[in-house]
Amino acid sequence: MFSLRDMCQQVAVIPVLVVKETSQAKPLAAALVAGGLKVLEVTLRTPAALEVIRLMSEVPGSQVGAGTVLTLADVKAAKAAGAQFAVSPGATADLVKAAADEGLPLLPGASTASEVMRLMELGLDTLKFFPAEAAGGVPMLKSLYGPLPKVLFCPTGGITEKTAANYLALPNVMCVGGSWVTPDNLLQAGDWQAIQALAQAAQALKKP
């Protein structure tokens, strides 16, 4: 049975990808997978996103999800494109139900104890902490761990290669989301070797 938590615990970093050109999809996914980052989040922020998800899903070893999923229509479109999971910046009961009805595992966003508790009431304990830096970063996650130790987070938002290790050292963090692995200049240049090297460096941050 597919476990979103197990999937997230396989990697140190989930690349948050904004891909505008479908031609970049397969070589980008191949470079990231070769670097050890096989869990990929393609944000639904470009017209090409759904086709990018479909193409990346064809790359051996990849586990591709849809990011910035906001509505029932997004859930259905992501599922149809072959997404294995969905990521949302926040959560509503309707969105959680829609994902469950479609059989699409959801990593919903939360940034306060109340939001976390509401999601726990809906049966979710594997969450995205967003926007990580703006919402209090490492100190906030440390504070949440005391009363809510069963919840594991993937912090996303403002995290860099310099700060990722601080998050990954926390007991309630399973991985982080970040865009530094695929900088736009390397993406536009098609420098897949350099992106693979960044992926390898990111995966090396994984907890032992």
The SS3 call for residue 127 is strand
Under 8 Å between Cβ of 25 and 19: yes
The residues that are catalytic are: 41, 128
CA atoms of 122 and 120, how far apart (whole Å): 5
Q: Which of 180, 184, 171 is nearest to 202 (CA)?
A: 180
Under 8 Å between Cβ of 31 and 199: yes
Which positions ≥6 away from 52 have C-beta within 8 Å? Answer: 17, 19, 22, 24, 25, 42, 46
Query: Exposed e or buried b for every residue in 62-87, given b needs 16+ CB within 10 A?
Result: bbbbbbbbeeeebbebbbebebbbbb
Q: Which of 15, 21, 28, 80 is nearest to 54 (CA)?
A: 80
